[in-house]
Amino acid sequence: MNKITIGMIGCGNIGGAIVKAVNERFAANIRETVIYDLDAAKMSSIKKNFPTVREAPGIDELIALSDLVFEAVSPAVAASVLGKCVSGGKDVMIMSIGGVIGNEKLIDEARSKGVKVILPSGAIAGLDAVKAMKISGIDSVTLTTRKPPKSLKGAKYLEEKGIDPDSIKKETVIFDGAALEAIKAFPQNINVSAILSLAGIGPEKTRVRIISSPEYTTNSHEVTVKSKAGTLTALTDNVPSPSNPKTSYLAILSAISAIEDYFSSVRLGN
């Protein structure tokens, strides 16, 4: 593969980690790295460590300069970025996968145009089996997520329900419903339900349970799938990112692994 230009939209915790990996692990594949964030201080922070990184004046300009675009901002931004990349014929990796829900037609459009859309597994395991089971027919998919209260702070759903995360003193079921509603209620906390829904039976049929307790010290995700090919149970017990407790460290590593697959001619698993 010829060297490419990579564009990073969002220079926060995830974006910064990916820029670091791109410039340290994949330097042989990269011609240039272009970044954009509304917060100029975040861009400046990255440039201190990687002076050759170029700042773009806006999202449209970044996409025009890039061969592969990364989105690491929010579901609201993700849908727009995905649409612009598909229209412009630019490969794209979406980290805020909740933004894809309701915009699946863009995935179909990308397929028809030969545009690569990369949606990393994030902080869950077992998506390879889920995709295989889908061929046989899936009866049910349940995601049970367990999080410490501090990782839920600022969640729109809790504010609407008048729930103070600091008031949670014992194991408490915070949410129990369809993935479609979970994605709306916790746009920054439950991206894994979006990728699980896309790989399986959709956001309306995928059940999500979110449980919180002050005794939890990690973010865990348990996936249970019942299908005609058998039953899958997959559990990940994730260490939070040191710089952002809302993000699992594995989610960042999953994105880096997806970049490796993008550049490699050999793929392990499906």
CATH number at residue 235: 3.30.360.10
Mean pLDDT for the chain? 94
C-alpha distances in Å from residue 222, one per residue of 125, 126, 173: 9, 10, 15
Answer yes or no: do 66 and 34 share one domain: yes
Q: Are 62 and 34 in contact (CB under 8 A)?
A: yes
CA dist., res. 258 & res. 165, Å (int): 33
Q: Indicate if the pLDDT at residue 43 is higher than 90.
A: yes
C-alpha distances in Å from residue 111, one per residue of 5, 87, 91, 211, 264: 22, 12, 11, 37, 20
User: Residue 262 domain-assigned?
Assistant: no
The percent of the chain in helix, strand and coil, each rounded to the nearest 5, is 40, 25, 30
Answer yes or no: do 115 and 167 share one domain: no
CA dist., res. 25 & res. 160, Å (int): 43
CA dist., res. 252 & res. 123, Å (int): 8
Range of the domain at 98: 4-119
Q: What b/e string do you get for 118-152 counting C-beta neighbours within 10 Å, with b at 16 or more?
A: bbbbbbbbbbebbeebbeeebeebbbbbbbbbebb
Average pLDDT over residues 222-237: 97
Residue 145: in which H helix or E strand, if any? strand 138-147
User: Residue 270 domain-assigned?
Assistant: no
User: Residue 267 domain-assigned?
Assistant: no
Q: Which of 129-133, 161-165, 237-241 bottoms out in mean pLDDT, i.e. has the lowest?
A: 237-241
Average pLDDT over residues 161-177: 94
**Which of 258, 218, 214 shows the shortest CA–CA distance to 235?**
218
Answer yes or no: do 174 and 115 share one domain: no
User: Residue 263 domain-assigned?
Assistant: no
Answer yes or no: do 109 and 215 share one domain: no
Average pLDDT over residues 11-38: 94
Q: Which of 42, 147, 221, 246 is catalytic?
A: 221
Residue 92 known to be catalytic: no
Answer yes or no: do 149 and 220 share one domain: yes
Q: Indicate if the pLDDT at residue 161 is higher than 70.
A: yes
User: Residue 136 domain-assigned?
Assistant: yes
Query: What does the pLDDT read at residue 248?
Result: 84
- Residue 214: burial class (beta carbons within 10 Å; 0-12, 13-18, 19+): middle
Q: In total, how many domains does the chain have?
A: 2
Q: What b/e string do you get for 29-50 counting C-beta neighbours within 10 Å, with b at 16 or more?
A: bbeebbbbbeeeebbeebbeee
CATH number, domain containing residue 35:
3.40.50.720
